Amino acid sequence: MGRLDRHLNKADDFKEAGRFEEALRELAQAKKIAPEDPDVYISFALTYDAMEEFKSSICYFRKALELNSRDAYIWTQFGITLSRIGRHPESLKCFDVALEIDPGYAVATWHKAVAYRTIGLYEEALKNFEECLHSDCEQDYIKGEIYYQIGLCYFDMGWTREALLEFRKQVDVCPEDTWAHLSIGNCYFDLGWIDESSAKFREVITIAPEFIPAYNALALALAEKGWYDEALEVLRAALQISPEDESVMDNMDYIQSLKEDDDGPKGIILLSIILLKLLKRGEAPEESA
């Protein structure tokens, strides 16, 4: 291993450990050794992305592309960073360029699909997720997420039964995926199967006792049946686990208001919005090789 590779590898290790200043020092040394090597600039870009200093990250991506504009990996990583800051039209252009360079690059196809789903172009998202599903991609996070992401598309399109099938496939592939289990419960709720949804949410809590979204979902399901005291008790249990969780406190206020005005409107629109939020996994796009 040469000096340049040693500096780049050390920088990557420091970045993964959150030791960003040390990572940047290693990259500064790498730049002295190879000032025209695009790998140096992509490493800078990814480090600044991890630091959430996106302006600097974008500058280094552009420098890397000046040095090598025919690298699908660089274009894909640039697209991921742009997606992270909500610049989805630009990110989609990056993924398109990456796929023009390497049509079989499943990582670009995957993140293109995620971007389409984020901006509500569900049919385009499904098309790209299906391409990933039928590809020979060996990326673990793609294989481990694919049915969940397809399920989210169907759910957002209002195709709840189709979504339910996909979430069940996800659980078959990843039995410990708490978000997929939660999503099955949300589908039951959306279909009006309140008892089944409550049972599923209780199951999720048993599997993952510190998983706050399951407490929120169970409380909302109980409230839908008019069992406000039981719902509030569930949320109190959640606060014992996470005392500062704003979603729990918001739901307590909401359910308390229902209890105080039992004859008032049920707030179905608000409830649907909350459940949609519960369905979303809170993950940032992954950096991918």
- Residue pLDDT, tens place only, 112-166: 999 999 999 999 999 999 999 888 777 777 888 999 999 999 999 999 999 999 9
* Predicted pLDDT at 165: 98
* Predicted pLDDT at 280: 61
What is d(CA 35, CA 8) in angstroms, rounded to the nearest whole number? 13
What is d(CA 40, CA 114) in angstroms, rounded to the nearest whole number? 28
Q: What is the per-residue pLDDT across 268-289, written as a single tens digit (0 to 9) for each? A: 555 655 666 666 665 544 444 4
What is d(CA 217, CA 156) in angstroms, rounded to the nearest whole number? 17
Residue with tokens 């500062």: 244
- Judged against a pLDDT cut of 50, whether residue 236 lies above it is answered with yes
Tokens of 211: 């998983």
Find the distance separating the first CA and the last CA of the chain, reported in whole Å. 20
* Predicted pLDDT at 139: 78
- Judged against a pLDDT cut of 80, whether residue 211 lies above it is answered with yes
CATH code of the domain covering residue 181: 1.25.40.10
- Judged against a pLDDT cut of 50, whether residue 38 lies above it is answered with yes
Q: Is residue 289 part of a domain?
A: yes
Q: Is residue 260 part of a domain?
A: yes
Q: How many domains does the chain have?
A: 2
The answer to whether residues 279 and 152 touch, using CB atoms and an 8 Å cutoff, is yes
Q: Which among 279, 285, 284 has a CA at the least distance from the CA of 179?
A: 279
Of 43, 69, 95, the residue that ends a domain is 69
pLDDT tier for residue 85 given thresholds of 50, 70 and 90 = very high
Of 69, 95, 111, the residue that ends a domain is 69
Q: Is residue 182 part of a domain?
A: yes
Q: Which among 116, 79, 5, 204 has a CA at the least distance from the CA of 218?
A: 204
The answer to whether residues 251 and 278 touch, using CB atoms and an 8 Å cutoff, is no
Whether residue 170 is found in the same domain as residue 288: yes
CA angle 110, 115, 119 (to 5 degrees): 150
- Judged against a pLDDT cut of 70, whether residue 266 lies above it is answered with no
Q: Is residue 79 part of a domain?
A: no
Q: Is residue 100 part of a domain?
A: no
- Judged against a pLDDT cut of 80, whether residue 10 lies above it is answered with yes
What is d(CA 199, CA 46) in angstroms, rounded to the nearest whole number? 43
Give 173's Cβ-side CA count (13 Å radius).
Answer: 16
Higher pLDDT: 196 or 1? It is 196
Whether residue 179 is found in the same domain as residue 286: yes
Could you tell me where the beta strands, DSSP code E, fall in 2-120? none
The domain of 33 spans: 1-69
Q: What is the mean pLDDT of residues 243-248?
A: 93
The answer to whether residues 129 and 157 touch, using CB atoms and an 8 Å cutoff, is no
Query: What are the C-alpha distances in Å from 83 to residues 42, 49, 240?
Result: 17, 11, 35
Higher pLDDT: 67 or 262? It is 67
Q: Is residue 269 part of a domain?
A: yes
Dihedral, 83, 88, 89, 93 alpha carbons, nearest 10: 30
Q: Which amino acid is at 60?
A: Y
What is d(CA 100, CA 95) in angstroms, rounded to the nearest whole number? 9
Of 23, 46, 69, the residue that ends a domain is 69
Q: Is residue 243 part of a domain?
A: yes
| Averaged pLDDT of the chain | 91
Q: Is residue 122 part of a domain?
A: no
Q: How far from the centroid of its chain's Cα atoms is residue 224's Cα? A: 28
Q: What is the per-residue pLDDT across 14-32, written as a single tens digit (0 to 9) for each? A: 999 999 999 999 999 999 9
